């Protein structure tokens, strides 16, 4: 497997988009929704890709409100290259504004997949990985959540119906530009997603589906599919597991391992695996 060389592009694009989240307001979300919803009868429709993107940006802004980004262009490029490689082989290879990956300057292992494709991994989780294949496993798991729309599906259906009903009225346009009821409703939707991915975690079934999808995606992308199980074993062996970070928001690691259907064991490293491992070890954290 060969990673695409995008060293002049990814740092600028990824950081500009993610840093832009810090200044995100909800009028952008309301505006895009007003353009796509004109009648109250449409209140039962699902969230579309552009709305998912803007909600995801607002969720990312919440994440960045409590975390700093690692400022290392080489690492940012590398993580994006690995992330884009697995994303292209996932069930959802593209999103409204594409996938973007960044590293949070936090020591506890964790990762967050915002709706629409903004994915954060902490420096602590990168350090837990022992190879590029294990890093790819982390990112493939998070891409799986985006592909399955787990984040956006955590929004209360009743709340979203209220959002679209309000947008379907003739008075909605004034809210899009000046705040008010529609902004409050969108804030509630963003709260639903943020609490799910950062505070409470996804359901067991969603996590198990993302693990299984990661195995399939790794195999399709040319990575070792056994990297999912090897990383889960490292997590299970980590002292203090279950207290914070990824251990707090994810099901017990032993259960996740048990649910993996015949996880592929690590085989004899091929030439490209050796190259990937060396590339991974060259990153300075």
The C-alpha R_g of the chain, in whole angstroms, comes to 19
Rounded CA separation 55/75 (Å): 27
This prediction has a pTM of 0.78
Residue 3 counted as domain residue: no
Stretches where the chain sits below pLDDT 50 are: 2, 4-11, 13, 37-41, 170-172, 175-179, 241
Residue 108 counted as domain residue: yes
Question: DSSP code of 39?
Answer: -
Residue 121 counted as domain residue: yes
Residue 160 counted as domain residue: yes
Residue 36 counted as domain residue: yes
Q: For residues 38-72, b (16+ Cβ closer than 10 Å) or e, as one string? A: eeeeebeeebeebbbbbbbbbbbbbbbeebebbeb
- By CB atoms closer than 10 A (0-12, 13-18, 19+), residue 281 is exposed
Specify the pLDDT at position 138: 97
Rounded CA separation 221/217 (Å): 6
Q: How many residues does the chain have?
A: 285
Residue 122 counted as domain residue: yes
Residue 19 counted as domain residue: yes
Residue 62 counted as domain residue: yes
Helix-, strand-, coil-residue percentages of the chain, each rounded to 5 = 60, 5, 35
Specify the pLDDT at position 283: 83
Could you tell me which residues are beta bridge partners of residue 101?
A: 119
Rounded CA separation 116/100 (Å): 9
Domain that holds residue 33: 10-281
Half-sphere exposure of 69 (CA within 13 A, CB side): 25
Domain count for the chain? 1
Could you tell me which residues are beta bridge partners of residue 103?
A: 121
Phi, psi of 103 (to 5 degrees): -110, 125
């Amino acid at each position: 497997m060969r990673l695409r060389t995008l060293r002049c592009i990814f740092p600028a694009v990824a950081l500009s988009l993610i840093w832009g989240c810090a200044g995100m307001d909800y009028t952008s979300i309301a505006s895009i929704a007003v353009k796509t919803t004109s009648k109250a009868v449409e209140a039962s429709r699902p969230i579309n890709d552009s709305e998912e993107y803007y909600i995801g940006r607002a969720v990312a802004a919440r994440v960045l409100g409590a975390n700093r980004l690692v400022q290392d262009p080489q690492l940012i490029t590398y993580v994006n290259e690995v992330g884009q490689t697995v994303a292209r082989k996932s069930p959802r290879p593209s999103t409204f504004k594409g996938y973007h990956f960044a590293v949070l300057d936090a020591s506890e292992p964790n990762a967050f997949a915002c709706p629409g494709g903004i994915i954060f991994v902490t420096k602590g989780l990168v350090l837990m990985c022992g190879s590029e294949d294990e890093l790819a496993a982390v990112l493939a798991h998070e891409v799986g959540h985006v592909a399955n729309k787990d984040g956006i599906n955590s929004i209360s259906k009743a709340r979203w119906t209220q959002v679209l009903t309000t947008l379907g009225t003739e008075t909605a346009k004034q809210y899009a530009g000046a705040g008010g009821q529609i902004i409050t409703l969108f804030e509630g939707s963003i709260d639903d997603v943020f609490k799910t991915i950062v505070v409470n975690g996804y359901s067991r079934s969603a996590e198990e589906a993302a693990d299984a999808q990661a195995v399939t995606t790794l195999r399709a992308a040319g990575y070792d599919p056994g990297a999912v199980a090897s990383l889960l074993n490292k997590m299970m062996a980590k002292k203090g597991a279950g207290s914070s970070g990824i251990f707090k928001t994810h099901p017990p690691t032993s259960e996740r391992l048990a649910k993996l259907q015949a996880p592929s064991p690590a085989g004899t490293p091929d030439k490209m695996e050796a190259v990937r491992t060396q590339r991974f070890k060259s990153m300075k954290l």
